[in-house]
């Protein structure tokens, strides 16, 4: 038992170091795969805002996902009028919303570690599992980034006029954002990792059963051909390819 625990701890350490190192090295590329779709979803779900840009800001440290936007026109919120910055020329002003890149990517990294650390029986299971885990990692990264940007955007945009209402009764989006950042994202990531493991095991089992059925059909065909041979007797033993049988005959000669 102690040996198994030691092996598991060693595997966990190696996998965690490897995944974290790779994720840190390619973090910009990872976010580049999320940004185009995220930008379009933000525009679609927030028509009252003009999105000037959505990118990764490297200054000041730490790196952050940055959304630059402004209101399109004045809005009525809680009986008050909220004007865009630099109104009546909203394109000349705006505000920024930033969320740290580590907070966005951490649940995805935890998902990949949890999926990779569990042993697999064959290569098919490993490929299917990690492919599924990478797709789910993209999905959870996208979801966390969108929910957090949505909550922070509404908070920053309406903070000046309705600060009392915001502080007294936080929005559902803000509560969901805090839940994801404070640990809920990691819980979801572990659940998604388990789903990837189960899916890989299921497909691997189906692949093994398919190979066994193919082998069984081949053996049945060999037995049937031997029973129907002119001699009428089945040959017990391994069936050699024609090339090997010919080599054996030449050796006997």
Domain residue limits, the chain: 2-208, 210-252
pLDDT in tens, 103-125: 889 999 999 999 998 887 788 88
Can you tell me the distance from the alpha carbon of 137 to that of 203, in angstroms, rounded to the nearest whole number? Answer: 20
What percentage of the chain has pLDDT greater than the value 70?
A: 72
DSSP per-residue string spanning 94-134: -EEEEEEHHHHHHHHHHHHHHHHHS--SSHHHHHHHHHHHH
Give pLDDT tens digits for 59-90. Answer: 766 788 888 888 888 877 666 777 777 777 76
Q: Is pTM, for the whole model, over 0.75?
A: no
Where does residue 163 fall: left (phi above 0), alpha (psi -120 to 50 degrees), or beta otherwise? alpha
Local structure of 47: helix, strand or coil: coil
pLDDT given at position 141: 93
Question: What three-state secondary structure class fits 56?
Answer: strand
The residue written with tokens 């090295």 in the block is 25
Q: Is 71 strand, coil or helix?
A: strand
Under a CB-based contact definition with an 8 Å cutoff, are residues 51 and 40 in contact?
Answer: no
CA distance 11 to 26: 22
Q: Which residue, 158, 183, 155, is CA-closest to 170?
A: 155
Structure confidence by residue, pLDDT tens digits, 134-183: 999 999 999 999 999 888 888 877 764 554 444 445 567 777 888 887 78
CA 171 to chain centre: 27
């Amino acid at each position: 038992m102690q040996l198994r625990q030691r092996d598991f701890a060693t595997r966990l350490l190696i996998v965690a170091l490897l995944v974290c190192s790779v994720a840190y090295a390619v973090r910009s590329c990872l976010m580049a795969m999320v940004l185009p779709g995220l930008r379009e979803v933000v525009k679609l779900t927030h028509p009252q805002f003009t999105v000037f840009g959505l990118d990764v800001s490297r200054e000041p440290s730490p790196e952050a996902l940055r959304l630059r936007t402004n209101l399109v026109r004045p809005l009525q919120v809680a009986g008050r009028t909220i004007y865009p910055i630099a109104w009546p020329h909203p394109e000349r002003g705006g505000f920024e919303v930033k969320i740290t890149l580590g907070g966005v990517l951490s649940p995805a990294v935890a998902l990949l570690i949890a999926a990779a650390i569990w042993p697999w029986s064959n290569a098919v299971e490993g490929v299917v599992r990690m492919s599924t885990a990478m797709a789910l990692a993209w999905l959870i990264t996208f979801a966390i980034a969108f929910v957090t940007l949505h909550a922070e955007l509404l908070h920053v945009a309406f903070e000046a006029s309705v600060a009392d209402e915001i502080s007294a009764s936080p929005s559902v989006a803000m509560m969901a954002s805090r839940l994801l950042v404070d640990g809920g994202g990691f819980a979801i990531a572990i659940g998604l990792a388990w789903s990837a493991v189960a899916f890989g095991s299921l497909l691997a089992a189906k692949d093994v059963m398919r190979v066994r059925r193919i082998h069984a059909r081949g053996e049945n065909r060999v037995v049937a051909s031997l029973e129907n041979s002119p001699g009428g007797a089945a040959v017990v033993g391994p069936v050699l390819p024609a090339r090997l049988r010919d080599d054996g005959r030449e050796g006997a000669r």
